[in-house]
Structure 1
Amino acid sequence: MPSASRAGGSAPGGSGGDAEFDAILDRRALYPVFQPIVVLATGRVAGYEALARGPAGSAFELPAAMFGHALRAGRLGELDWVARAVAFRHALRAGLPYEMPLFVNVEPMALRTRCPPDLVASVDDGAERLQVVAEITERFLGEDPAALMALMTRVRGRGARIALDDVGSNPASLALMSLLSPEVIKLDREVVQHPDTAVARQVVQAVRAESARTGAVVLAEGIETPQHRASAIAMGATLGQGWLFGRPGPLPRRHTHPGADLPRSAGSRAGDSTPFQIARRYRDPALTTRRALIRVSARLEAMASRAPEAMVLLATFQHRVHFTATVRTRYAAWAAGGAFIAVFAGGMPARPAPGLRGVTLRADDPLVGEWTVIVVNSYFAGGLFAEEVRSTGGDGQREFDAIVSYDRALLTEAAHSLLGRLNSRGGRSADG
């Protein structure tokens, strides 16, 4: 990513600015520049990142103005497709070989926009002939999880890899990182350039744990001095990007082999299954009571809350009456500390408490019969999956077939099935 936020910053307002932007986008008058990504130990070029620019000298030359205006104008999805298509066209025209990875930015919310017909051929050609690494913009990770899950499925279905961009600029990235299984984790420039802050140390610790667990490559952004390079290496980064190695510009005419291949994740196969249905593929359930499950749930939450980073917590409660004031208060406190929390139940409002996302379930939704608690971060993964089978008396005597698991693959798949139900407003209605 460039130093300016891709979808942030200010842009010209008023009808003049709107008309200029519309003309640029309608004419597809963007062009890409390419910044090298290098192996920190050797300086060998290991890939390039494509960065979008508007017409030189215009008010929309820099990406901050261009993407910020597109977001406000409701044309971010179209602009995202245009930027990717022109990057592919230029890379292919320049003869970028397949073995040289090309990093391109992708906004998850762009998947809510169909690729314009005039760009389909360029996008398909690039996906087939280039080794694409899709950079997910961290700012929108928690805004539209359903689009994010769809993006991951589409990207990996086309043979591309995923890079999580600007890690460290938003607590949501640390909470969701362990569920995305990115092949590349890009440390934010602020972490690299200011490594002695408490935030930077927390980010580096979480990223190191994720990289050690999954084999993800760590890439440090914003390297502008030899000191930044040394800090990046100390943080565990093996790849780097920044002005020390080259400013954005045209692609060179010749390329050497990057010398190392990026890892590849298997992705998720959650589909439309519920968490209990997924868990049952891995393990057989055991009959237990509601009282016993309350103790298991509390133990899982307590273990995750002791980790040095924020967690992802996804829970289903059958009906909102089971989402008690005590639980709501506890969850809201964790959300205030950076946790990503979503709750699902019949009658659940979209915002059940500050920082929480809610999804209301229809009466015929199979999830209504399940009790789920999934807690995940880079250090811990645990889950409770239960399906009510009968009631033998009071509420405490309700009986469930239940599975408790610490299998991260199972938990990730089950978490994806729930995240796919969330939209940008927090949850979907009973009708959608």
Structure 2
Amino acid sequence: MRLPIKAIVPAVHTAPDIHAVLDRRAVTPVFQPLIDLATGRVLGYEALSRGPAGTPWESPAALFAAARAAGRESELDWICRAAAYRAALDADLGTELTLFVNMEPTAWRAGCPADLEPVVEQAQRRLRVVTEMTERAIAEDPSGLLSAVESCRAAGWGVALDDVGADPMSLAMLPFVHPDVVKLDMGLLQAPDDPKTAQVVAAVYAYAEASGATVLAEGIETTRHLAAARTMGATVGQGWHFGRPAPLPARPSLSPSVRPLRLLATPIAADQTPFEIVAAQRPVTRTSKSQLMPLSRHLEALAGGDEPPVLLACFQEARHFTPATATRFRRIAKHSPLVAALGIGLPAEPVPGVRGACLGDDRLRGEWNVIVVGPHRAAALVARDLGDECMDSARRFDFAITHDRALVVAAARSLLRHIAPVSTPALEMAIA
């Protein structure tokens, strides 16, 4: 759980102050216990960061805001994680207890600073880590997030999706991250009778049941919160009811009956296009473009329901992203967590709110795909152009349709890798 970065750095504090903090790696980790709600036993700890005590940067919100303003947020992210690893190694946390750490995917793009590499390598050998990411990351940088997730899993570590439910649209992001742990936002416990809470809980229940993921409730402060967390399907809890953030105890005790948090099987990333993924497992039919158009628009219409899904589409070339299509996509984007259009010649933002990707000389340029992924439904139309030289409406395609969630998500992941990160000054400095 990372506090939202909303603080504004006071103008009276000069840039060298925060640079000095970062140069000295002057960050202190504190840890909050994660509790098995059935037994009350400690399963692990989440690492939280604090800046130098008595300085303007002691608050994590102020610390990260200042680092972001200085163009060093990704470096700070690595510093915080390395400090947590070092403390856990010193306390001999081992692999029975699980260490939760927060990560911004932009930090993965920036790479680990050389002086922090040794402790990170030790952590990979000696600790059991779950890396927490927020759902906003996939909308900002889908490719970076998926790469960061793969990097964590390659190290044998787990992945948690944090603050689920803070924005109901985040529910559509669950299948892409495929988290081992879903962390329910603390606001849900404050409003257990809210219809939106029920919506979130139902979606998380469905994901956890299908995947085997662990549900963790944040912000448990009272016995009433504890009861609500159990009702919401949480089996692990975190909050002041169990303990406030503090230094790790030396050699944390572990009951012999405690089992480590379960980590899921790693999804296999396929180097394939949506058509190749779906056509390998579903019947393929041949038809004309004019016959495919109603099917395509039907799938687009699925993105307009009460639980807005992710909508991804390939148009081959920019000219097929017509003004009428642009109007539909712009309308959908106002209520969806991520809407993207891919095609040769398409800019980074074809219309406001819609992410664009310009395809190069790759296999995708011959495909027409419409993919919809939401909390409770998934559908994909995948088609491959046969290259006819004829009137546009008569062009023939081989196509397949599927509502199989696993297939649809795999097809969607293959498109997300083509979407560049949102261009912001802070992100550009982190990547440079």
Deviation at 1:9, TM superposition (A): 2.1
Query: Which of 74, 98, 113 does residue 71 from structure 2 map onto?
Result: 74
Identity %: 46
Partner of 1:129: 126
| 1:348-427 alignment, distance < 5 Å | 348-362=346-360, 364-391=361-388, 393-425=390-422
Deviation at 1:153, TM superposition (A): 1.1
State the alpha-carbon separation in 1 of the partners of residues 423 and 402 from structure 2: 27
| 1:297-308 alignment, distance < 5 Å | 297-303=296-302, 305-306=304-305, 308=306
How big is each residue's C-alpha offset from its partner over 1:224-257, in whole Å with a ceiling of 9 and x where there is no partner?
1111111111111111111011000011233224
Alignment TM-score, normalising by the size of structure 1: 0.92
Q: For this pair of structures, how many residues does the alignment match? A: 421
State the alpha-carbon separation in 1 of the partners of residues 51 and 423 from structure 2: 33
Partner of 1:266: 266
Which is further off, 315-324 or 136-145?
Answer: 136-145
Which is further off, 396-405 or 101-110?
Answer: 396-405
8 Å CA contact 2:212–2:264 kept in 1: the answer is no
Partner of 2:428: none
Partner of 1:331: 329
Note if 1:233 corresponds to 2:237: no
How big is each residue's C-alpha offset from its partner over 1:141-165, in whole Å with a ceiling of 9 and x where there is no partner?
3111111011011111111111000
Partner of 1:430: none
Partner of 1:180: 177
Query: Which of 25, 30, 36 does residue 39 from structure 1 map onto?
Result: 36
Partner of 1:347: 345
Query: Which of 50, 55, 61 does residue 53 from structure 1 map onto?
Result: 50
Note if 1:191 corresponds to 2:208: no
Which is further off, 406-415 or 111-120?
Answer: 406-415
State the alpha-carbon separation in 1 of the partners of residues 127 and 265 from structure 2: 18
* Structure 2 letter corresponding to 1:424: P
State the alpha-carbon separation in 1 of the partners of residues 6 and 389 from structure 2: 56
8 Å CA contact 1:270–1:416 kept in 2: the answer is no
Deviation at 1:270, TM superposition (A): 2.7
State the alpha-carbon separation in 2 of the partners of residues 138 and 127 from structure 1: 25
8 Å CA contact 2:169–2:307 kept in 1: the answer is no
Deviation at 1:303, TM superposition (A): 4.2
Compared CA separation, residues 139 and 68, structure 1 to 2 (3 A): farther
Note if 1:251 corresponds to 2:234: no
Compared CA separation, residues 326 and 171, structure 1 to 2 (3 A): farther
Compared CA separation, residues 203 and 30, structure 1 to 2 (3 A): same
Which is further off, 115-124 or 411-420?
Answer: 411-420
* Structure 2 letter corresponding to 1:19: P
State the alpha-carbon separation in 2 of the partners of residues 218 and 17 from structure 1: 42
Deviation at 1:284, TM superposition (A): 5.3
State the alpha-carbon separation in 1 of the partners of residues 137 and 178 from structure 2: 17
Note if 1:163 corresponds to 2:160: yes
Deviation at 1:61, TM superposition (A): 1.0
8 Å CA contact 1:359–1:426 kept in 2: the answer is no
Which is further off, 136-145 or 161-170?
Answer: 136-145
8 Å CA contact 2:207–2:213 kept in 1: the answer is yes
How big is each residue's C-alpha offset from its partner over 1:293-351, in whole Å with a ceiling of 9 and x where there is no partner?
22222333344544x42211110011122222332222222221134111101221222
8 Å CA contact 1:268–1:413 kept in 2: the answer is no
State the alpha-carbon separation in 1 of the partners of residues 314 and 423 from structure 2: 15
Query: Which of 91, 94, 98 does residue 97 from structure 1 map onto?
Result: 94
* Structure 2 letter corresponding to 1:374: I
Alignment TM-score, normalising by the size of structure 2: 0.92
Deviation at 1:32, TM superposition (A): 0.6
* Structure 1 letter corresponding to 2:98: P
* Structure 1 unaligned regions, length at least 5: 428-432
State the alpha-carbon separation in 2 of the partners of residues 392 and 21 from structure 1: 62
8 Å CA contact 1:219–1:241 kept in 2: the answer is yes
Query: Which of 136, 144, 166 does residue 147 from structure 1 map onto?
Result: 144
* Structure 2 letter corresponding to 1:319: E
* Structure 1 letter corresponding to 2:6: G
How big is each residue's C-alpha offset from its partner over 1:189-241, in whole Å with a ceiling of 9 and x where there is no partner?
11221223343232222212211221211111111111111111111111111
* Structure 2 unaligned regions, length at least 5: 425-432
Partner of 2:284: 285
* Structure 2 letter corresponding to 1:229: L
Partner of 1:85: 82
State the alpha-carbon separation in 2 of the partners of residues 372 and 23 from structure 1: 50
* RMSD of aligned alpha carbons: 2.0
Query: Which of 219, 239, 242 does residue 239 from structure 2 map onto?
Result: 242
* Structure 2 letter corresponding to 1:296: L
8 Å CA contact 1:182–1:265 kept in 2: the answer is no
What secondary structure sits across from 2:33 in the alignment? strand
Deviation at 1:183, TM superposition (A): 0.8
Which is further off, 194-203 or 110-119?
Answer: 194-203
What secondary structure sits across from 1:36 in the alignment? strand
State the alpha-carbon separation in 2 of the partners of residues 112 and 401 from structure 1: 37
8 Å CA contact 2:105–2:148 kept in 1: the answer is yes
